[in-house]
Each structure stands twice: as C-alpha cells, then as structure tokens.
A and B are shown apart, each in its own frame.
Chain A
C-alpha cells in the first residue's frame, strides 16, 4: 500500500511577498506557483525542462520551474511574470513584446519575457555563451548572442524575430 504523501513546509519570497505553503514534497516549483499560489502566468508546456514556458527568476537567475521541487526553495526569492508588471503598468520588456508583436498565442510568452529579463543581466554580468567569440571579453548584444541565449524558450507560433526585436529595444541595441 502506498504511503501517505510526505508534506513539508516551505516559505518563499514570491514577487516580493512572503508566501508560506505546506506541500506534498513532490510538488514542483511550477505547480506550487500555478496550483497552490494561483500564479498561473507561469506556463506548463512540457513539465520536463524541454520548452522554457515555465521560466521564472529565482535569486536573480532564470530557471525552468518544472525541473525543481518547491521545497528546495526555502527562503528563495522568486520573480514570476506577475511580479514584473501588470496590464496597467507593464514592465519595459512586456511593453516591448506588445509593441513588436513578440508572441501570437501567448503561451510561451511569460517564459520568454522572464527569460529575456534575466538573460540581459547575464550579458551585463559578462557571462559568455556558446556563440561568444572570446570567452574572456564582455559579450556583445548581437542578434546571434540573443538568439543563442533565448534558445531554451521555444515558441511554436514562432514569433522569434519579433521577440529578438523586442529584447533588442529594451537592451538598447540598434537593430
């Protein structure tokens, strides 16, 4: 006979607010957000780390929230799409996506936006990518750098060039 689920308490700082949850330890961070906190802006496209729809920013870094258990994030600060802006008060990246039509169905979009915001910080911090010519030099905001770094976020509607335009605008890159 299977055992009763193991429950555990976890407390996280979600979009600046302390949220305390008692969770089945098998609950992913993604499901904790979507099913327990009702923060459904973060999407589930695959639940296996293959699509990027569930991207959120944890302690400043973008992660696939489907690939991590919620209880591993005790005390962590988590930023979701809801924490970036609201329809009335869009984050610059959200506004740029609207302006450049960086989406179609919208399902990959929160993941793309969270990913883009954190990705620009990675460039700023000097983290090289697969396409960086010089691993020691400050990475440039080329279209190819952006495309490479965003490739974990699939968009089947394929708004790719528009997404790159939106990110470029926010990053101040001339297109």
Chain B
C-alpha cells in the first residue's frame, strides 16, 4: 500500500481496540519468566557448547602474538576462534570497527578470541589462559584535545554537516541580547539489562542464530556479509529482546563469534557478552562539545541562532548529530549549524535512544533557559514567543502538526509552574534548595516502509507475522490491537509472531519509528485480508463491515471463521510512503517540567516531581505509550545527574564499564512521574495517524533537570552529568 495522500476516515478511527489502555499481551510470559530470550533457548537445538569472549587489552595497536596452547589444553575446551584461524571475514555495512579484532586492534575490548568449551565455567577459565602480546600504538582518546583537528563529516542521517540561512554572523553581532556558551555531554552507555547474546547453529551451509537484535533484516544482511555467505542461508530470530536503546540496532560480536565458534566446534554455540565487556566492546553514545550562540531582540524574538557540535569516532565512523533539532525547533531569520568529527580511538560511537536530539537538546535547552533569564522572560513564555509553524529553513514546508505551545501551556498549568520563583535560590524546604525547570521536547517522526503477513484460519483466529521486534516498546500489543481493530475481532483472537527473518521485512525498532510504521504495515496487510474475505463472500469490500467477528453487508452476515473456511485466507502487504515527509515536516513535541531538591550542605540533587506533556500523534495504547515516556524521562534523569562513561585518556578506554560504576537511575532516584498526551491525530504520518513516542521522552529532560538545579541553587552547570562536585563549591551560603 502506498501512502502518499493524507489519511481519511478508516477502520482504525473506530478506536474500539486501538487507543485503549490494554495490558500487554506478552505480559503473562514476561512476568512468569517464560518469555524466551536469546541465551535461554535450550529448546531450539541440542548439544549447545559455551563460548566466552576475550577482549583486547589495548586500545590501539597490533597483536604481536597469541599463545593458545594453555587454553587449548584446558579441560573441556572444544575450539578457540581468533582472527588468525577464522578465515576471511567481511565487515557489516553498519559496523565501523571489525567485530573480531586482530592483528590490528581498533579499540579496547574489541573481541580477539572466543573460547568454546563444554561448560560456561570451563570456557571462562580457559579464556583467562589465552596469552596475547600486543604492540601498542599511540591513539587519540580526548575529545577536547582532538577538537581542533576535527574535520567535516559526510552528510549523515539528519542532513548536511553545515547549514546556513540568512546571515547569522551579522545578525548575531547586531543582536541587542546575546548568548555564547559551550556545553559538554559525556559518552554514555545503553546499559540495557540483557547483555548481547546469541545461540548459533549450522546445518550444513545454513546458519540459524537466536539473538537479541532490534533490526532483524539488518542483522541477517550484515551477518551474511561478515561471514561471506549468501543472505538466504542465514536465519535470524529475536522474538524477545531484553532492552536495546540503539545498542542492539546492529550486528555485534556475540553473533559473529557464536557463528564462528559453532563452525569451529562443529556444534551449536551460545555466547553472551559479559557485563564488563559491554561498554568498550559495543557501541555507545559519543561525547559532544557544543557551542550555542543566540541573538535576540530586547522583547525576546530570536534573530540569530547558531549551534555547532564536535564529537569523535573511530576512522570511518560518523558524528553525533547534536545540531539536528536546532534546525527546526525555534524560529529565527538567521541561523547556522555545523558538525565536526574528530578521530578518536575509543569504542565505536553510534545510536543511543534519540541519537542527535538527546544530546543536542541537553545543550540547546539550557541555552534557551539562560537566554530567557538574560531577557527577563519566563522560559515558558520565551519558547512560546519563538515558536514556528513552518520549517524555518524552508518556510513553504509546514509541520504536519505542531503543538509545542499547547504542550508548554498544558504542562505549566498541570505542574503548577506559576509557583516557581524566577530568582534562583529562593525556595527552601528545610535545608533543601528547591527549584523548577522546564525544557521543550522535540524529536522527528520518521517514515520507513514496513511489511506484514496475516492469516485468518477456520477458527476465526488471525495470526500476524512480521520481522518487527518488541524491545519493550509494546510492539506485540499494538500490532495485535491494529489487527483486531481492522478485522473486527477481540484482541484475544489475534496472535502475533515477531522477530524472525523469514517473516516479511518490517521497519524494525529504532529512531522511534517502530510503532507507527510497523502498525501501518499491519494495517496494509489487513486491508488486503479484508479484500480477500470480501471477495470470497462476493461482498463489495469497500462497503463490507468487519465487526464482532462477523463480516456484514446489508442484512447478510457471515462469521470470519466461516469466511476463512478450512483452508484459511492469507494476505501480505506493507506500507510504503510517498513524499508527505518532504512536503511536511513531521515531528513530535512535548514539554518537560521537573522539580528538584538540592541539599544545601552536600550538593546532592534529588528529583522530586516530573511531568511531560506530549503531542505525538494518535496514542495507540496509552498504557504502553506512557511507559515509553516515563522510561525515557528516567534515562534523561540519568543523563542529567549520573551517567558518564569515564575515559582513561592515557590508555584509551571507558573505566567504569559495569553497572556498579556506570550509574543508571534506580528505584530510589525516581519519584512519581506524570505524562499528559494531548489529543492529537496526524493524518499525514500514516493510516494509523500515529507518530513516534519512545524517544521524544528523553529529549529535553536532562536540560529541564539542569534548569531546575539552576533555579534551586543559582549554579549554572554546562558540563553533564551534574554531579555534586560541580555544585558544592558554589552553593549559596545558608544561615
């Protein structure tokens, strides 16, 4: 189905199942421990051996020699895979560094060997006996030091490295009120709870992997490419994924090594990355340095807006596109953005939840707060004054929907923003300095094609198959809701099967595109199935009504079960998009409000209240959508207060590479969180009229926390995370 004109009324608008706060259909499995994750598939293939990954102990250089003798002689060892004996390997199109290092080492903890043994304990013990001698070379590990050597990257996902409208330099110089500040965000780790894990089994030339991956078709393609085998010999299955956040978008070492280990050992092999390996072996959100310049008139109109960002990556990698939102979020006649990319020899930088915007909003939305203060304006009001309903770079392009102002107003009202003291350090609760902060939320809505297959059987049951994944986002449930709505069935009559590369290729899970696009694909397949049903019954499909398990036309009514008959009916289709995303800018909006308390003596910050008001298209399931929002808000709190992969700039690795030292928020850090969804449908996005939800929630939160800390203490911190050492010297004196 081609979607190239805005949606009109369709069966989804009935909102009988769609839009209802239905509990997840996979909930009983997940809560009883019976949902099968990758490493747990004892059922799929017998005789599984255990693989244990050895990571490089240097950041850059070469393996001078590897001595495997001791490890090979260790009890239970079946095979050891290294680059030397693995045969020729390619590199996945989406990987920057190779997944099995040697002789060249590109980053710390790059895999250099896999030890396969009968048991996990034996593999682990033998792995410690692998002796690797390295020749170290100098590397670059410090973004600030590499900043001046940074070059201009290629055009990326979000657009060109440099953009310019009007005359920024002149307008900025002429502006009566100016801000020119630099902000930094650190490297961050996805830290999803399920480590990357794979079971691999060969059957002759055919390879099957049970793994944990967000993008099944990408994984299958890149696995085939890496191993140098044809794509149709590879099957990838990933029905349950213990979190991804972008860290499982791509093929990673566990998959390749499990496949190589299984080939070497001649039997199935299972591999999980150990937790301490993950931060340096896999990808991370790269650190940024961001300079923001804003020029405004005395009454608060932005006339000049400039945003530059520096980040680093391995050779051949890409930038953190932290300037993207600045091209769209506020009006200004004169504007510029620039991205520069330095070569750093840390692990590969790549997508983490809302790549680009998450980091960019951390800086931009502090800058806006600072500018509001300079202008003597309320930060909510300042944002409202600079709203735009069109793409500021191409004014002929309107936003499909843009209700940022309403988000700000609704949020302010619900949060009690009017109780905020504009002057910092004025609200006290015992010895706690209390402050409120606000930030806009912004993330683009991306359209990408997605297909599904749907079967109606003689019992009236519908089964949907698509290679879509559910990484905690609720895909199983919203897909079932879509099929139930379209076919006029209760949700119990729909079965959903996901995450198998033999199913039609979906959009996958990433970039908050999963919900809208995958359900639109299921919608398309359902339209086809409705036609097949109608045709079989001799009904005019445009007039047939699907409701209550029946198909009706006039006074004729046939049950779906009967219509399907013993042989059943099958339909397959997908959604493809025309140029509606070119004609219109499609984005999602919100406003974050945060109240913090900062201990006046210790500088410890606690978040006391949080609220997000969001406008992001039709909410397909308010229960799961809210969960996406609060999860993202919490990750934003981590970004604001604790999360930083600390770089050892001498030897080139992330030091705090486990969950004890890379501090993510825990229960005690997170108070009650409020989420308000504005009533919005966006007929330009898809037949579902929905948009992305999952990443909007992280965009802006950290800045709202930072602004609240400033409001509480009068201390402006521009370097994340805002740990107490950055506050304590500058806290106001208490009597």
Q: Which residues from chain B contact A86 at a C-beta distance below 8 Å?
A: 32, 34
A120 touches B (CB below 8 Å): no
Instruction: Assess whether B31 is in contact with A101, with CB atoms less than 8 Å apart.
Output: no
Known contacts A94-B32, A105-B193, A106-B35; decide if A160 and B667 are in contact (CB<8 Å).
Answer: yes
Q: Which residues from chain B contact A98 at a C-beta distance below 8 Å?
A: 23-24, 27-28, 31
B194 touches A (CB below 8 Å): yes
B419 touches A (CB below 8 Å): no
Q: Which residues from chain B contact A109 at a C-beta distance below 8 Å?
A: 30-31, 33
Chain A 9-45, CB-CB to B under 8 Å as 1, else 0, gives 0000000000000001011000100110011111111
Chain A 102-116, CB-CB to B under 8 Å as 1, else 0, gives 011111111001000
Instruction: Assess whether A40 is in contact with B36, with CB atoms less than 8 Å apart.
Output: yes
Most buried by A among B70, B471, B659: B659
B53 touches A (CB below 8 Å): no
SS class of chain B's interface: helix, strand, loop or mixed?
loop
Instruction: Assess whether B472 is in contact with A90, with CB atoms less than 8 Å apart.
Output: no
Closest residue of chain B to A95 (Cβ to Cβ) is B31
Q: Which residues from chain A contact B36 at a C-beta distance below 8 Å?
A: 40
A136–B195 Cα distance when bound, in Å, is: 41
A53 touches B (CB below 8 Å): yes
Q: Which residues from chain A contact B73 at a C-beta distance below 8 Å?
A: 1-2
A1–B36 Cα distance when bound, in Å, is: 38
Q: Which residues from chain B contact A27 at a C-beta distance below 8 Å?
A: 119-121
Question: Nearest Cβ in chain B — how far from A86, in angstroms?
Answer: 6
Residue count of chain B within 8 Å CB distance of chain A: 72
A50–B40 Cα distance when bound, in Å, is: 21
B566 touches A (CB below 8 Å): no
Instruction: Assess whether B631 is in contact with A104, with CB atoms less than 8 Å apart.
Output: yes
Instruction: Assess whether B32 is in contact with A158, with CB atoms less than 8 Å apart.
Output: no
Instruction: Assess whether A50 is in contact with B659, with CB atoms less than 8 Å apart.
Output: yes
Q: Which residues from chain A contact B129 at a C-beta distance below 8 Å?
A: 2
Chain B 53-91, CB-CB to A under 8 Å as 1, else 0, gives 000000000000000001001111000000000000000
Instruction: Assess whether B630 is in contact with A46, with CB atoms less than 8 Å apart.
Output: no
Q: Which residues from chain A contact B121 at a C-beta distance below 8 Å?
A: 5, 24, 26-27, 31
Question: Nearest Cβ in chain B — how far from A162, in angstroms?
Answer: 6
Question: Nearest Cβ in chain B — how far from A48, in angstroms?
Answer: 6
Instruction: Assess whether A44 is in contact with B31, with CB atoms less than 8 Å apart.
Output: no
Instruction: Assess whether B241 is in contact with A105, with CB atoms less than 8 Å apart.
Output: yes
B326 touches A (CB below 8 Å): no
Residues of A within 8 A of B (CB): 1-5, 24, 26-27, 31, 34-35, 38-48, 50-51, 53, 80-82, 84-88, 90, 94-95, 97-99, 101, 103-110, 113, 131, 143-144, 146-148, 150-164
Pairs across A and B, CB under 8 Å, 5 listed: A43-B242, A107-B193, A131-B668, A159-B631, A160-B666
Q: Which 5 A-B pairs have the closest CB atoms?
A: A41-B33, A107-B242, A104-B472, A105-B472, A106-B30
Residues of B within 8 A of A (CB): 23-24, 26-37, 39-40, 42, 70, 73-76, 119-122, 125-126, 129, 190-195, 240-245, 272, 274-276, 471-474, 623-624, 626-628, 630-635, 658-660, 664-668, 670-673
